[in-house]
Amino acid sequence: MSVGSLQSCVRRALYEVDPKKYLRVETLPHIWCAGCGNGILLQCFVRTLAACDIDPDKLIVISGIGCAGRITTYIDACCVHTTHGRTLPFATAVSLCRPDAHVVVISGDGDLAAIGGNHLIHAARRNVDVLVICVNNFNYGMTGGQYGPTTPEGSHTKTTPYGTFEPPFNLVDLVASAGAAFVARWTAAHPVQMIQTLIRAFNKKGFRFIEYVSPCPEYFGRLNKMGKPQQMLRVLKQVSVVKHGVDPSEATMNPFNRIVVGEFLERTRPTFTDKLREVVERARRR
């Protein structure tokens, strides 16, 4: 996609489209806490769909259990709300059965990186043709604010009242090392950049991973004395450093002092569907 076409598409997303076509308006208002970044993500996502003129009949959105998993409630397309941690097995099957469709996974860090962590690395290794948006709020928000695999060291959660001592995953480095075709990270304070990256991801094949850093004022923010929702958003903006093309291993993240954001990696590899077709074709020729 050329720079001019991308800029034009972003402009359409921001100023020209009506995203209601992709929303189940009867389900609104949403149930997320005040200040949660999931509402911003929903807005970015449906505006991207409208700007790219994605056919709702060829859009399949899969979510898991958790705050972010509720996003499929509001999207007017073919949506699947799966069991905890099993979004990517479902998405892999759907991608193989519907290679003509846009298959998107939207779920949280607990669902994708903890309970579903094994599926995450193998989907990236196989280069399954699916777009994954991982909403990282640094804790299990829906079930009470417990710590998870992305909780920063030293931070407080309901289950680590004296501070988390385990090192967190760097998810962009993890999936890049496993073989992902496209890797990026933005925060809820970067909606325009998030739309731009979503547009690019929709125009690419393979395993595409976008980490979306979302404030959780009710649990993580409150327990770590991060202030009101608007203050949390300001901090996300202030501590973010844009570094496009940096090695994902150097894209470190700590919500208190420094978050490296940007589009880190893009490469072309045969997708899992392509490889499977080759095997089937060889078998037919025998």
Q: What is d(CA 136, CA 70) in angstroms, rounded to the nearest whole number?
A: 14
Q: What is d(CA 75, CA 273) in angstroms, rounded to the nearest whole number?
A: 26
Domain 3-285 top-level CATH class? alpha beta
pLDDT value for 12: 87
- Average pLDDT score, the chain: 95
Eight-state DSSP code of residue 22: G
Torsion from C-alpha of 164, 167, 171, 174, nearest 10 degrees: -160
Distances (CA, A) of 210 to 21, 71, 164, 197: 24, 16, 25, 8
- Are 135 and 38 in contact by the 8 Å Cβ rule? The answer is yes
Phi, psi of 177 (to 5 degrees): -65, -30
pLDDT value for 252: 96
Phi, psi of 269 (to 5 degrees): -135, 155
Which residues of the chain fall below pLDDT 50? none
- DSSP-derived pairing of the beta strands 207-213 and 240-242: unpaired
Q: What is the pTM of this model?
A: 0.96
Tokens encoding 113: 């990186």
- Residue with token string 């995450």: 120
Question: What does the longest C-alpha to C-alpha distance in the chain come to?
Answer: 66
- Are 27 and 64 in contact by the 8 Å Cβ rule? The answer is no
pLDDT value for 5: 86
Closest CA to 238 of 252, 220, 259: 259
